[in-house]
Every structure is written in structure tokens, then in C-alpha cells.
Amino acid sequence: MTLAELFEKDTLRFLLFGGKGGVGKTSNAAAASLWAAEHGRETLVLSTDPAHSLGDSFAQNLSGGEAVQIKGVKNLYGLEIDPRKAYAEYQQMAQQPDMEEMGGMDMMGLGDLSDITAPGADEALAFSKVLEYIQECEYDLVVFDTAPTGHTLRLLGLPEMLDSFFGKLIKFRLRMGNIFGRIKAAFGRGDSEQDNSLEQMEKLKETISAARIELSDPERTRFVIVMIPEAMAVAETERLLQALYEFQIPSSHIITNMVFPEVLDCKFCKARKDMQEKYLAQIRDIYDDFTITEVPLFTHEVRGLPTLRRLGKLLATGTLPPLGE
């Protein structure tokens, strides 16, 4: 099944691109989202990679915190999620003296624990933004340009981790509820204020569980692996696939990027080509049950709509149009 055939599935809602750093995930995610948008699907492409380059691909600033329309494309919107910025804003808000009146950390019955930095908190905030688009998807298709493999694996593991964490937190909240109530009563607050912390935590837990179901449904989600024909990329791809299997994230497509062309009068190019051919043969053999798309090394930068359109057509149809088309 080509990517074009995958796009034609009305049920497909989420397409994730991931792999080792520097293999061209962003370019391929941008190109695929552009192809989908220009073939009738209202598409959002968003980056969860802290080192964003999605905006550079479209030559447009996408870091404002809200999805914006890609210039010159009717059905395409883009967004770069900045987890570090979001976490800094969260910490600043949590430290405000009127945080209690705003229903902040006290809403969860955690009092002055707002200054604690949980491991992976910035990634959790990135995932919380992803949850928004999974739970309330306003687009026909959401394309994720994920971070390099290590970060992506932590991101994929967050639903399970947070599910477990919030389950324990809810039990803790139930045990401690009476104590917090007595403390509030001692300061004259009594039961006049409605404590909806348990309700909020249960709601978040349900959202996380729903996201896990969405991301493991092959009719609605696919993970596209981007790699290059080199030893380290092949090894990291295997690790990524094992994790995808563990998290039950469906994956059926591999993009082998930056394949050297045949250049007869260049010894360096021939050496690179020979080296890549060894790994290309290995990739074709190991992943013969995947749809593999081989993308040549472009002679120019993959940036801007014309170049992204060429790459998008190659990904979707298997045919690279000539320059100028």
C-alpha cells in the first residue's frame, strides 16, 4: 500500500514520522502533509521536536503556539510545539501568589508541590498538546514530525506512564481527601468550595486511555519510519520498530532517504553508492513486509513548496517528477 493509498483511507487520522536525528523526518513529514492537503484533506502538520525545522521547511514562522495556515496552501496548517516554553510558562503560573484562587495546583490537592520538576515534564507537556489534537481532531489528517528516536520513544511511552501515574495519584487523592478537607475547614474554608480535583484527574486519565486506543488503531494511525542506508540508522530503526511493537503503534511504511545517485566519474560518489547499496539490500530483505520508498539525495535543499511538492509526489506515487513540475 503506497502512501497515496493510505491517504485515501477515510478513516486515517494520524500519521507520525520518526527516526534517527538528521535523516530527513521533517522534510518528509512536510512533503506528505502538503500532498495530502492538495489532494483534498484538511491537514495539520505539527512538530514535537524541540529542535524545530518544520517552519524552515515551509519558510514560515510556526512557533506562535497556535496552528496557522501555511501560506499558499488552502487546506494545510502548521504548528511547532515548544515543550520547554510551555513548561516555563507552567512553572511561572504555578508560582503566582493567586494560584490557589485560579484553581491551579491546589485543584489537584497538591499544595506547594508546584516547584517540583517531574522527569520528562517537558515531554509530558508536549504530549498534552498532542492529546488535544487526538481528542478533539478538527482536521481530516494530523501529521506529526516527531523528535529523534530517543525522545520519540519517551513520548510514545508517556500515555502508559501517565496513565499509571494518574491512577496512583487518584488513589492518593482519595486517601488524603478527608485530611485536606479538615485542613481547609480549620482555616474557615469549610466545604463551601467545590473540590473537583478528583473529577479533573479522572477526566485526564480517560483522555490518556482514549489516546492510547487511537494511536494503536491501524485504521486511524500509522507510524512512518524515516531512515538512511547506513549502519547506525539500520540499528536504530530496529530499536524503534521494537518499541512501536511494544506500544502497539501500527507501522507499515519505511522511507529510505538520501540515496546516492549513480555518478560514474566520481570515485567518492561511487564509494558512497556502493556502501549504501549494501545497506539498501539489507533493508529490503529485513523489511520485505513493509512498503519501502527510496528517496534520492536531492541536488538542492528540500525547502519551500515547489521542492516539497516534488518530494510529496514521490512519497505518494513512487514517481519523482522532473524539476520545474
Domain residue limits, the chain: 11-302+311-317
Question: Mean per-residue pLDDT for 76-94?
Answer: 70
Inform me whether the pLDDT recorded for 71 exceeds 90. yes
Q: Which residues pair with 44 in a beta bridge?
A: 77, 142
Taking all residues of the chain, what is their mean pLDDT, rounded to a whole number? Answer: 78
Using one digit for the tens of pLDDT, what is the confidence trace for 287-301?
Answer: 999 999 999 999 888
Q: 148 pairs with which residues across the strands?
A: 19
In the structure, what pLDDT confidence band is assigned to residue 109 with cuts at 50, 70 and 90?
very low
For the chain, percent of residues with pLDDT exceeding 70: 66
Residue whose C-alpha cell is 480549620: 186
| Res 98 pLDDT > 50 | no
226-268 pLDDT, tens digit each: 999 999 988 889 988 988 888 888 999 999 999 998 887 889 9
Per-residue pLDDT averaged across 162-187, rounded? 60
Residue 110 Cα distances to 14, 44, 121, 189, 285, angstroms = 35, 36, 16, 17, 53
pLDDT for the residue numbered 162 = 63
DSSP string, 41-87: --EEEEE--SS--HHHHHTS---SSS-EEPTT-TTEEEEE--HHHHH
Span 11-20, mean pLDDT?
Answer: 90
pTM score, whole prediction: 0.79
CATH of 11-302+311-317 given 3.30.70.2190, 3.40.50.300, 3.40.640.10, 3.40.718.10: 3.40.50.300
